[in-house]
Amino acid sequence: QVQLVESGGGLARAGDSLRLSCAGPRRTNRNYAMGWFRQAPGKEREFVAGIGWSDRSSYYAGSVEGRFTITRDSAQNTVYLQMNSLKPEDTAVYYCASDSPHLSRREADFRSWGRGTQVTVSS
């Protein structure tokens, strides 16, 4: 496991944009997937977006497809989530995850997690 630190959350209005960042320690082994999950009040944590080590294999939950973009700086072991056209239903704590050996939407496949950053979107 590695320590991950998220940043970039905050308050936004519907239609606004926010960019989340997640930084981990630099590593020589970069062959793993990273991703973002979120948990809204009273709901289970859900997958948002993931990206493979090549930075060309990104995938998204249907609810954010076309609005959110995940990118990765493998050299810096940093992953970003650009969130555009935000909606009130995007309000949640967003968690960064890493160290999945393959592209996955399952929490159990990611072995390292950040503590989360709050995103609140008002209408």
Model confidence over 76-114: pLDDT tens digits? 788 999 999 999 999 999 999 998 888 999 999 999 999
Whether the predicted pLDDT of 69 surpasses 70: yes
Whether the predicted pLDDT of 27 surpasses 70: no
Residue carrying the six token digits 């859900």:
46
Choose the weakest-confidence range: 21-25, 83-87, 113-117.
21-25
Query: How far apart (Å, rounded) are the C-alpha atoms in residues 17 and 28?
Result: 33
Which DSSP category does 28 fall into? S
Quote the pLDDT of residue 55. Answer: 60
Antiparallel, parallel or unpaired: β 10-13 and 117-122: parallel
The arrangement of strands across the sheet holding 78-83 comes to 5-7, 18-23, 78-83, 68-73
User: Using alpha carbons only, how large is the chain's radius of gyration in Å?
Assistant: 13
| Average pLDDT for 5-26 | 93
Which DSSP category does 123 fall into? -
Of the candidates 88, 59, 53, the residue with the CA atom closest to the CA atom of residue 72:
53
